[in-house]
């Protein structure tokens, strides 16, 4: 079975836009778990643009209480700075079930590529070992078509996360087959090397079923952007009705009647 881990970054984006505490991240997280999510994902960025270090601690506690998987994503090479203690320190404090290593830079709008194992392998190896010493399963972000995907196993990783952004883009344009076939081939090579396969980035209700049909044994998908967007559409009607009830009732009680 494929586990669904909900990425909460976008809830934090909305919260931070007003500088307060709403929408409440823990309430959103609990709602996701109540609805059946198998786990929670966060990708705290060093610039603290959405998830902050304090959020990671609280969500880690929630996952422990609820007995579900917590997945922290981030760049293991990004140095600590004010407001960001570094990925290893965050994992030391929260002991997530899984850490997903992603080679993203500060200037990136979002994650947009996997590791270059030839360039980064030697530096990654001791870091992977350090995360495993903390008891974390280690997954590494990998490009579809990476010719060195087996290196992830040699470096000590347990899983790869297939970067599905290009697949999602191909799906949206209707030219699915080459991107899908490449994703299947990379997943199969990883599995043959003994790695588990996770997948994520820009997955949605349209492209996810096709991916899961094509790739056997995807162990986890982490989904945030589309899922939180869908939640807005799914909830807007009921929410507007609720506010409309309030203004109509007020008009009846205190004003000239409903508009």
Helices (H), 81-140: 87-94, 117-133
Find out whether 162 and 144 touch, Cβ atoms under 8 Å: yes
Residue 52 marked in a binding site: no
Return the one option of ligand DXP, ligand LD2JLWAY, none that residue 94 interacts with (CB less than 5 to 8 A, by type).
none
* Candidate residues 4, 5, 8, 9; the one interacting with ligand DXP per rule CB under 6 A: 9
- Mark whether 148 is an active-site residue: no
Would you count residue 15 as binding ligand DXP (CB under 6 A)? no
Tell which residue, 180, 154, 156, has the closest CA to residue 166.
Answer: 180
Draw the binding track, 141-170, toward ligand LD2JLWAY (x: CB under 6 A; -: no contact).
--------------------x---------
Contact set for ligand LD2JLWAY, span 68-127 (CB under 6 A): 73
Residue 186 in the binding site for ligand LD2JLWAY (CB under 6 A): no
Per DSSP, the residues of 16-75 read HHHTSS-S-HHHHHHHHHHTT-SEEEE---TT-SSS-HHHHHHHHHHHHHHT-EEEEEE-
The burial class, CB within 10 Å (0-12 / 13-18 / 19+), for 185 is middle
Residue 220 interacts with ligand LD2JLWAY (CB under 6 A): yes or no: no
Is 220 catalytic? The answer is: no
* Rounded Cα gap, residues 112 and 43, in angstroms: 13
222 lies in the site for ligand LD2JLWAY, by CB under 6 A: yes
Please give the positions annotated as active site.
43, 73, 201
Where on the chain is the footprint of ligand DXP (CB under 6 A)?
A: 7, 9, 43, 45, 73, 102, 110-111, 141, 200-201, 224
């Amino acid at each position: 079975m494929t586990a669904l881990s909900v990425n909460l970054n976008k809830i934090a984006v909305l919260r931070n836009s007003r500088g307060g505490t709403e929408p409440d991240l823990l309430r959103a997280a609990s709602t996701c778990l109540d609805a059946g999510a198998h786990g929670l994902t966060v990708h705290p960025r060093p610039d603290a643009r959405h998830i902050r270090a304090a959020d990671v601690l609280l969500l880690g506690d929630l996952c422990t209480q609820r007995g579900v998987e917590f997945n922290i994503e981030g760049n293991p090479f990004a140095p600590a700075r004010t407001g960001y203690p570094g990925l290893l320190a965050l994992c030391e404090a929260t002991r997530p079930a899984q850490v997903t290593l992603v080679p993203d830079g500060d200037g990136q709008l979002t994650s947009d590529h996997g590791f270059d194992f030839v360039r980064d392998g030697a530096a990654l190896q001791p870091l992977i070992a350090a995360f495993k010493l903390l008891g974390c399963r280690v997954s590494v972000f990998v490009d579809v078509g990476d010719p060195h995907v087996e290196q992830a196993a040699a470096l000590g990783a347990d899983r790869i996360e297939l970067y599905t952004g290009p697949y999602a883009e191909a799906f949206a344009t209707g030219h699915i087959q080459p991107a899908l076939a490449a994703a299947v081939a990379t997943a199969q090579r990883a599995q043959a090397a003994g790695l588990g396969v996770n997948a994520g980035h820009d997955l949605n209700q349209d492209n996810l079923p096709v991916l899961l049909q094509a790739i056997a044994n995807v162990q986890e998908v982490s989904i945030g952007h589309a899922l939180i967007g869908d939640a807005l559409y799914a909830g807007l009607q009921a929410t507007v009705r609720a506010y409309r009830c309030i203004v109509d009732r007020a008009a009846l009680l205190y004003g000239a009647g409903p508009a």
